[in-house]
Amino acid sequence: MAAEDLPSEFDVVILGTGLAESVVAAAFSRVGQRVLHLDRRSYYAANWASFTFNALLTWIQQHHEGPQPEEVQDWSSLLEEGEELIYLSNSDSASISNLQVFCFTSEEDEEEETPNTTEEERGAADEDAVKETSESADLKEEESHQKPEETAARDGEQLTNKDTFDLLQASQNEGEEPNAHQPTPIAAPSQSEPTRKKISYAQLVKEGRRFNIDLVSKLMYSRGSLVDLLIKSNVSRYAEFKNVTRILTYRQGKVEQVPCSRADVFASRQLSVVEKRKLMRFLTSCAEETEEQRAYNGRPYLEFLTDQQLGENLQHFLLHSIAMVTEDTPTEEGLASTRHFLRCLGRYGNTPFLFPVYGLGEIPQCFCRMCAVFGGVYCLRHSVSGLLLERDSNRCKAVIDSRGQRINCSHFIVEEGFVGADRKRVATPPRFLSRAVLITDGSLLPSESEQQVSMVMVPPAAGGPVVRMVELCPSTMTCIPGTCEDLVHLTCQSVGSAYEDLSPVVTRMFRTPESHDQEKRPSVLWCLYFNMADGSGLEAEGHDLPANVYVCSGPDGALGHDHAVRQAEDIFQKILPEEDFCPPAPNPEDIIYDTENTSTGEDERQDREEDRQEDVREEDRQEDVREEDRQEDVRQEDRQE
C-alpha cells in the first residue's frame, strides 16, 4: 500500500502540520473543500510537536546529523505550455539550532533502586550490557549526547563542521567545572532527601515512551482564541486538559505562590491584611478603564503601579506574574494584559490557564483529525518539491509532490520552513527563541499535592531576558508516571544561544553540577537546550510567492496561541470570505443510531446539515466509497488469477 498514489485533484494543498496549518486544514475541510495535508516529517505538528523521551532523542540525533542530503530532482519535464516551476526547500533545518544536551544523573540505576530488574543489574556491572539491551536506534544517541567530552573527542570533526551542535565548545568551556556526566554532589544521597529514589538515565530511557516532551512551551488562556476555537468547532472532544494549578514567582532567591483568585488572595499567608485589601481593590478597579488609568497612557506600567501605593510585594506580583510584562511596558498594555488574565481566571480553575494532557503537540493533531473526519486526505513522510506556476496569471495551479506526481489545487498553504531562502524578503534579521527542557527530581515549590502544574515568570537579571518557566507534573503525561519527577520548560526571546540565555537561570534555580549551596532545590537529571526560529516576525517580512500561496509561520514566543489561530483565520478568510470559520461539527452523541429503525439517525443528521456544499461532499464521498469498492473488486480479481 506504500505505493498507492495520492488523488490528484484538490481545492487546497497544505504542506506542514503545525498549529496554524492544521487549523486551516480543519477549517477548509469543514466547509466542504477538498484538502490534501502533507508533512515531510514522520510525525505530526512540526515544531509544535510533543515527543516521547525516546522520540525526542531521535529528533536530537537527526538535528545533530543535519539535513539528509537529498538530490534535487529535475521535474521540468512535467511542465506544460506556459508553466513555470518554483522549487521548495526540502528541509526546515534552519529553524532549530544550538542543540545541547546534558545528563546529570547516573547512567545506571543505583543498586538499591532496582529490586527486580535483573537486566539492569547486569547493566550496572557492565556498561555495554545496557547498550545491547536498548534498541539500536538509541545506541547512537547515547553515544552522542550522554558523554559530551568523549563524543567530542571521537567525532570532533563531524560535530564542529555544523552550526547545529556545539557540544565540543560547551565541554571546553566547562573544562574547569565538574564533569557533566560524572556522579556529582547531587548523586550523593546523604544530603537532603535520603529516601528519594534518584531516577537514572537508563530508567528515563526505559520509561521513555510514557511521557511526552513539547518542543514549544505555551499554555492555553481559558478565554483565549484557541480555547474558544476548540469549543466552537467541537475539536475539543479529541483532547483532555488539566488546569494550571499555580502561578509562582521568583524573587530575591525565593519561589512563592502568587495569589490570583479571590480565594487565593484571602487564603494567602505571604500577604498582610492590608496588602490583601489593596490587591483586591486594585484588581476590582482594573476591570474597567478609568480616567486615571488613561492619564498614564504611554508611561510605564510600573509607574502606574507605584503610584497606586501597592507596596513592592504586590507590584512585583502584578507586573511579572499577572500582567507578565516588563518594567517599561506602557500602562495601557500592562492593564490590557492584566484584564485578560482576570477575564480568564475562574473559567476552569483558579488560574487562567489550561494545559493539554499528553502535551501541546496534541492540539494540531486534533485539528487534523477534524479535517480527516470531513474528508481531508493525510500523508506524512511526503512532501511537495515544487509549485507549478501559470505564467500569465502568476497563480499556482498545481504542486509536484516528492514522487513527481502532479496534484492540481486552487490554493497552496505552506509552512515557512519549506519556503526557499530565495523567496523570502528579509527585512530584519531572523529572531529566535531560546528553549530549555529540564527533567528534574521535584518541584520548585513542593506542596502536599504532587500533581501541580505551575507557571513561573522569572524577572530579568543583569540585563538578561525575561524567562518564562512552566513546570509540569506526571498527571499531564509529560513526566514518568508515579514519580516526583517534573518536567520544566524554559522559554525566552534569544539574546545569545539557548545555553547562554537560560543556563544562568537553571543554575540559579536548580541544582546542577555548576550550582552551589542549592541543597533545597530540585536537581536537574537531564536537560536539553536549543534555539527555535521565532515565528512572530513573519508578516512584516513577506514572501515572493504567487497570490494563491499562503505561508504559515512556526511557533512564536508568546505564552498563548493567538498568533497561530489568527494566522489560520486570516488565510481562511482571504480565500473564503463568505464562509464560517470552523463551525461546530455535529455531535455524534446527538445521533442516535437505532438497529430497528436505521433511518432515524440519518434523517436527524440530514436536517442539521443543510449546508449545500456539505451535501455535495457527501455525494463525492459516496462516489469515493464506490470507487474504493471497485478497486477492491479489481484487487480481489487479481488475486483470484
Binders of other proteins among 371-400, rule CB under 8 A? 372-375, 377-382
Considering only 236, 315, 337, 402, the residue that binds other proteins (CB under 8 A) is 236
Query: Which stretches within 287-361 are classed as H helix?
Result: 291-294, 301-307, 312-316, 331-344
Candidates 526, 527, 449, 528; CA nearest to 484 is: 449
**Site mask, other proteins, residues 546-585, x = CB under 8 A?**
---------------------------------------x
Backbone angles phi, psi at 476, to 5 degrees: -90, 5
Considering only 357, 423, 460, 566, the residue that binds other proteins (CB under 8 A) is 357
Considering only 63, 206, 242, 397, the residue that binds other proteins (CB under 8 A) is 242
- On whether the CB atoms of residues 389 and 396 are closer than 8 A, the answer is yes
Does residue 324 bind other proteins (CB under 8 A)?
no
- On whether the CB atoms of residues 509 and 502 are closer than 8 A, the answer is no
Does residue 349 bind other proteins (CB under 8 A)?
yes
Backbone angles phi, psi at 41, to 5 degrees: -75, 170
Candidates 473, 445, 449, 463; CA nearest to 359 is: 473
Residues 439-498 that bind other proteins (CB under 8 A): 451, 474-477, 481-482
3-state secondary structure of 116: coil
Does residue 262 bind other proteins (CB under 8 A)?
no
Applying CB under 8 A, which part among 65-73, 120-128, 232-240, 540-548 lies near other proteins? 232-240
Q: Which is nearer to other proteins, 380 or 466 (CB)?
A: 380
Residues 6+ apart with CB under 8 A from 278: 308, 309, 310, 311, 314
Query: Shortest gap between Cβ of 52 and other proteins (angstroms)?
Result: 7
Q: How far apart are CA 437 and CA 101, in angstroms?
A: 10
Q: Which is nearer to other proteins, 210 or 566 (CB)?
A: 210
Residue 153: how many CA atoms within 13 Å on its side-chain side? 3
Does residue 369 bind other proteins (CB under 8 A)?
yes
Q: Which is nearer to other proteins, 34 or 316 (CB)?
A: 34
Applying CB under 8 A, which part among 93-101, 237-245, 270-278, 454-462 lies near other proteins? 237-245
Query: Shortest gap between Cβ of 580 and other proteins (angstroms)?
Result: 15
Q: Which is nearer to other proteins, 87 or 238 (CB)?
A: 238
Q: Which residue shows C-alpha cell 566547562? A: 174
C-alpha torsion sign, points 35, 40, 42, 44: negative
Q: What is the largest CA-CA distance in the chain?
A: 89
Q: What is the DSSP letter of 424?
A: B
Q: How far apart are CA 400 and CA 308, in angstroms?
A: 62
Q: How far apart are CA 296 and CA 283, in angstroms?
A: 17
Does residue 240 bind other proteins (CB under 8 A)?
yes
Q: Which is nearer to other proteins, 127 or 629 (CB)?
A: 629
Considering only 4, 71, 81, 157, the residue that binds other proteins (CB under 8 A) is 4
Query: Shortest gap between Cβ of 211 and other proteins (angstroms)?
Result: 9
Q: Which is nearer to other proteins, 381 or 391 (CB)?
A: 381
Q: Which residue shows C-alpha cell 556529582? A: 184
Q: Which is nearer to other proteins, 103 or 477 (CB)?
A: 477
Residues 210-229 that bind other proteins (CB under 8 A): 210, 227
- On whether the CB atoms of residues 219 and 354 are closer than 8 A, the answer is yes
Considering only 285, 309, 573, 622, the residue that binds other proteins (CB under 8 A) is 622
Considering only 114, 203, 217, 365, the residue that binds other proteins (CB under 8 A) is 365
Q: What is the DSSP letter of 376?
A: -
> What is the separation of C-alpha 505 from the centre of its chain, rounded to a whole number of angstroms?
21
> What is the separation of C-alpha 307 from the centre of its chain, rounded to a whole number of angstroms?
39
Residues 191-210 that bind other proteins (CB under 8 A): 209-210
- At 362, the amino acid letter reads E
How many residues bind other proteins, per CB under 8 A?
78
Query: Shortest gap between Cβ of 188 and other proteins (angstroms)?
Result: 30
Residues 579-618 that bind other proteins (CB under 8 A): 585-586, 588-589, 591-595, 598, 601-602, 605, 609, 614, 617-618
Query: Shortest gap between Cβ of 613 and other proteins (angstroms)?
Result: 12
Candidates 276, 326, 336; CA nearest to 302 is: 326
Q: Which is nearer to other proteins, 32 or 442 (CB)?
A: 32
Residues 6+ apart with CB under 8 A from 355: 219, 220, 241, 242, 243, 244, 453, 470, 472, 476
Q: Which is nearer to other proteins, 446 or 586 (CB)?
A: 586
* C-alpha Rg value of the chain to the nearest Å: 27
Query: Shortest gap between Cβ of 231 and other proteins (angstroms)?
Result: 6
Query: Shortest gap between Cβ of 161 and other proteins (angstroms)?
Result: 33
Residues 6+ apart with CB under 8 A from 520: 192
Considering only 9, 307, 544, 629, the residue that binds other proteins (CB under 8 A) is 629
Q: Which is nearer to other proteins, 422 or 594 (CB)?
A: 594
